[in-house]
Chains A and B, each alone.
Chain A
Amino acid sequence: DAEITQSPRHKITETGRQVTLACHQTWNHNNMFWYRQDLGHGLRLIHYSYGVQDTNKGEVSDGYSVSRSNTEDLPLTLESAASSQTSVYFCASSELGEGRRGEQFFGPGTRLTVL
């Protein structure tokens, strides 16, 4: 069955370190998204991609970067981790087709703690 996976599921790091969170989907979806979830804020969009070599900034992109070298993967990098980036991170994907437009499929999440 097609799925979307994230790794690691839990990560503890120190302030200033570079961290990369992996996202891999086997749906063959063109669209991929990264969100962070914080209490009282719901999910906020960090970066998104509509295809290979395409990346775009979302609502809360400062301090984060992504790259899209193939359809399946969209890794999220925290260039220099800060305590404010302690959060739960979700990756999602969706297809472009008219019938399923907007329906995003979510990974299980990565809980990141920055000390």
Chain B
Amino acid sequence: AQSVTQLGSHVSVSEGALVLLRCNYSSSVPPYLFWYVQYPNQGLQLLLKYTSAATLVKGINGFEAEFKKSETSFHLTKPSAHMSDAAEYFCAVSDRGGNKLVFGAGTILRVKS
């Protein structure tokens, strides 16, 4: 069964600093990969999606992620953190049919002024 591991349940960065949220998946077949963001008391919103078209995926709000098959990783980055980026971020992998998702445990991002 597919699984997703997010390293670090909490990440704290200063405003303007690089954001790096780590995600590793386990799958024998390159799946669809996703990053979702959840702001307080809201549902999840799609940040970006990997579909094998390109290994570097750009998403909303300046976020991007790079798919590295050799490392089974899909880390999320943003060059300069903004206070509004404070939220919980979830990495997810789809099943082979591309319909069901398996989510990681989430990483709470704190941005310090």
Contacts and interface: CB of A to CB of B under 8 A. Distances in A.
Nearest to B98: A101
A96 B99 contact: yes
Interface stretch (B63-71, B73-81, B103-111): B103-111
20 contacts: A33-B100, A42-B90, A42-B105, A42-B106, A43-B90, A45-B102, A58-B100, A101-B51, A101-B94, A101-B99, A102-B32, A102-B94, A102-B99, A104-B46, A106-B36, A106-B45, A107-B43, A108-B42, A108-B43, A109-B43
Contacts of A40: 9, 105
Contact of A102 (B101, B104, B105): B101
Top 5 A-B pairs, shortest CB-CB distance: A106-B43, A101-B98, A42-B103, A102-B94, A42-B105
B99 A31 contact: yes
Given A31-B99, A90-B44, A96-B99, A103 B49 contact: yes
Interface residues of A, number: 25
B69 to A, nearest CB: 18
Given A42-B104, A43-B90, A102 B98 contact: yes
B100 A45 contact: yes
Contact of A94 (B41, B99, B105): B99
A34 interface: no
Given A42-B90, A101-B94, A103-B34, 13 more contacts: A31-B99, A40-B105, A42-B6, A43-B103, A50-B99, A58-B100, A90-B44, A94-B99, A101-B99, A102-B34, A102-B49, A106-B36, A108-B42
